Amino acid sequence: MTDTTRRGPKSEAPDIARAGQLPPEVPLALDATDVSVSFRSTGGRWSTVVDRVGLGFERAQVTVLLGESGSGKTVFARSITGMAPFGARVDGTAIFDNRDLLKISRRALRTIQGDRIGMVPQDPNSSLDPMRRIGGQIIETLEQHRRVDGRDAAHARMIELLTLVHIHDPERVARCYPHEVSGGMRQRIAIAIAICCDPELIVADEPSSALDASVGVRVVQLLGDLRDRLNTAILFITHDIGIAALIANQPGDRVAVMLSGRIVELGFASQVLHNAHHPYTRALIAAEPSGEVARGQLAVVPDDVRSQRYWSELIPVEPGHGVAKPLEHAEAGVA
């Protein structure tokens, strides 16, 4: 979204590169600029799945990355935190504490991942070892990043973390194996591991999608509570409009709508979810299931909206709120 290699005529729209972005004076936990991710196809050609995306993440703020499956949300999030999928070619910058996570060594990345950047996966089973007790896995993370002094201190911190994520009887749960607790509790444990080192940024990848609706809501509310308590930035990935509104509930929280590897609308949550300008965002909101819709009349995103290619820069429509124009309009200089 901060593209400097334009293929068409330069638009006269003011501050087009910063539309929807945070002001430059705001200190960011992570600042990703012009990030593109490509994979080599079987024919040897490179296919771009994330195209010049830029986002900044401020402490104590939620940024929701919203879009349908396959839009590039997870690939973008993993890439800017140094965990790009195997075979990916990543361009751009991701500045964290004056270091570019896309350029530093794997060894340097390991001192940041799990410590200053926490990850909450979609499926907690993918991050929990089924052969080890829960308490031991949390303690291992604490000891790996040297955040405790001695085994007793590690145990006390582990109990504190389980209590913080609303797990009752943490001593008993700490002695359990992952399969001995519920799915919702496993997700809370994954959150406890993600926050155990007081990270500056938490990346939560569809953390509620594999859970029952009521359990998923409680997990999302827990993340919101932790944001306020720990003063951490949260990048929250979802395809669910209702979940986006639930987690992005503070005045400074933002929503970025992603389609086909590009952000097509970005602004404060109240702007994007209640005053959407982009046709894709409007179609997503209209397709949200409602009890008022008659049987057999579910709304869908029109094919012409989904297949349309959009420019990577955003045109400001109001302060803090920007939308992408269709590619042919942007090339013609239409604002």
Could you write out the DSSP letters of every residue in 37-59? EEEE-TTS-EEEEEEEEEEEEET
pTM: 0.86
DSSP 3-state of 304: helix
- Do 164 and 273 share a structural domain? no
- Do 74 and 53 share a structural domain? yes
- Do 322 and 213 share a structural domain? yes
In a domain, 121, yes or no: no
Mean pLDDT (10-residue bins), the chain, 335 residues: 35 41 69 95 90 93 94 95 93 95 93 91 89 94 81 92 93 96 92 92 90 86 89 94 93 94 95 93 85 66 79 87 78 43
- Do 60 and 102 share a structural domain? yes
Predicted local confidence at residue 163, as pLDDT: 94
Predicted local confidence at residue 334, as pLDDT: 40
- Do 107 and 8 share a structural domain? yes
In a domain, 143, yes or no: yes
Predicted local confidence at residue 291, as pLDDT: 61
- Do 304 and 204 share a structural domain? yes
Predicted local confidence at residue 295, as pLDDT: 64
Distance CA 329, CA 216 (A): 40
The range of the structural domain enclosing residue 302 comes to: 1-17+27-116+200-335
- Do 213 and 191 share a structural domain? no
Predicted local confidence at residue 292, as pLDDT: 64
List of residues 6+ apart from 56 with CB closer than 8 A:
21, 22, 26, 28, 30, 31, 32
- Do 67 and 208 share a structural domain? yes
In a domain, 122, yes or no: no
- Do 81 and 2 share a structural domain? yes
Please report, for the domain that includes residue 287, its CATH number: 3.40.50.300
- Do 109 and 140 share a structural domain? no
